[in-house]
Structure 1
Amino acid sequence: MPLILIQKGKAMTSDKENLNLMLQQLQQGSEQAFTVLYDKFSKPLYRTILRLVKDEDIAQELLQDLFMKIWEKKEKINLEGSFKSFLYKVAENIVYSYFRKVAKDARLIDKLISDYVDFDTNAEELIIAKETNAMLQRAIECLPTQRQQVYILCKLQGKTHEEVSNLLGISTSTINNQIVKANKSVKEYFNLNREFVIFLLASELIKYLT
């Protein structure tokens, strides 16, 4: 056991030394070091940004902006500090800027709400905040009883249309119709509270970008 601990310690030290070496080379203008760092950090960053903006193209665009900022700010990287913290701080600023832009553009707000409601994902990713969860629950409570059941089972619990059909004794076409109508109602509810929606989504950055 002690030998394993020592080996792990050496591996962690080696990883830190390798990262510091890459950062030193980056500060000297090495594009190869930049590529290595991009490959190491871009995927988790992309997934985090996608959870927030719910649009693959926008997430990719923001990711590219983020690494452009890293290149521009390379001389300011503190080699004694945490590069990951620096990286995620830049990401936080970029996504905040996106939400500020959204807040000033009604069309972008509509798209964000639409993407958020329609996003095909599981409950953990759909509900990203207690406050947003509460708001979604209020929207669901406004739905007719059967529509509530279908929405909760399909969208929040992740059950297939076939599973819900067997549980509720209704056809899959009826389920699909109820989902479409439920999505429309939830969007309308969120649109009535659009400024609060933007605030809630933006406020989640600190939670996910850490």
Structure 2
Amino acid sequence: MLTDNSVLGSETSILQQLIKGNQLAFKQIYDLHSESVYRLAFNVLKDVKSAEEIVQDTFLQVWNSREGIDCEGNIEAYLYVICRNKSFNKLKVMKRQQQLFTPLTDVNDHTGYVVDDSRSAKELHETLEKIIEKLPERQQLIFRLCRLEGFSHKEIADRLGISIQTVKNQMVSALRVVRSELQKLEKDLPLSLFYLFFFM
């Protein structure tokens, strides 16, 4: 059993130790990523207690399924998928889909369109995922961190070890794809959803 964080080394070696059941490696993964997992959960649920529960559930799943983790993979993206799925499942159970559309309030006030929260929540989730999954892996991660988790360009640059300009360039490319795809679907989507991404 390792007893010092410095011994764990790179993220790959940390994941290798985690797969073996090293609790120190698990704690290091938790310390590095629990804040961003919480932010994602809270952005979806808008509830502190529920977001905290999602964090615990997410890392519990990581521990329980550690033997299947790809030590060469992107642990942040892996955590994102688990947290996202758990958060949306929790949202359905809580019957609070309307909170997902808090950012759309002003748009709805000006357009006069009333969004069916239940239907739109499902459309938003499914449509965005299909579009985002068309992006290259790094662009997907940057887009999710920026648009879905609320990180600034500087925070993303620091987190990923890249320049702020690289983040901006990746976002420009990602938004071009997202907007283009949403334009194609404009007639089939709530107007507020279209405006949220086309004019952001």
| Alignment TM-score, normalising by the size of structure 2 | 0.52
Identity of aligned residues (%): 25
Number of aligned residue pairs: give it: 127
Give matches, 1:22-171, under 5 Å.
Answer: 22-99=14-91, 101-102=92-93, 108-109=94-95, 111-113=96-98, 126-127=102-103, 133=104, 136-139=106-109
Please name the residue that 2:182 is paired with. none
Q: 2:10 aligns with which of 3, 10, 18?
A: 18
CA distance in 2, matches of 1:93, 1:73: 16
Q: Which has the larger radius of gyration?
A: 1
- Displacement of 1:199 in angstroms is 2.1
* Structure 1 residues without counterparts, runs of 5 or longer: 1-13, 103-107, 118-125, 128-132, 143-188
- Displacement of 1:201 in angstroms is 5.7
CA distance in 2, matches of 1:21, 1:97: 32
Question: Which of structures 1 and 2 has the larger relative contact order (alpha carbons within 8 angstroms, sep 6+)?
Answer: 1
| Alignment TM-score, normalising by the size of structure 1 | 0.50
Secondary structure (helix, strand or coil) at the match of 2:15 reads: helix
Work out whether residues 23 and 33 of structure 1, in 8 Å CA contact, stay in contact via their aligned partners in 2.
yes
Work out whether residues 54 and 112 of structure 1, in 8 Å CA contact, stay in contact via their aligned partners in 2.
no
The letter of the residue matching 1:75 is E
Please name the residue that 1:177 is paired with. none
Q: 2:122 aligns with which of 199, 204, 208?
A: 199
CA distance in 2, matches of 1:84, 1:70: 12
* Structure 2 residues without counterparts, runs of 5 or longer: 1-5, 133-143, 150-155, 157-200
- Displacement of 1:82 in angstroms is 1.7
* Closer, same or farther: CA 17–31 of 1 in aligned 2, 3 Å: closer
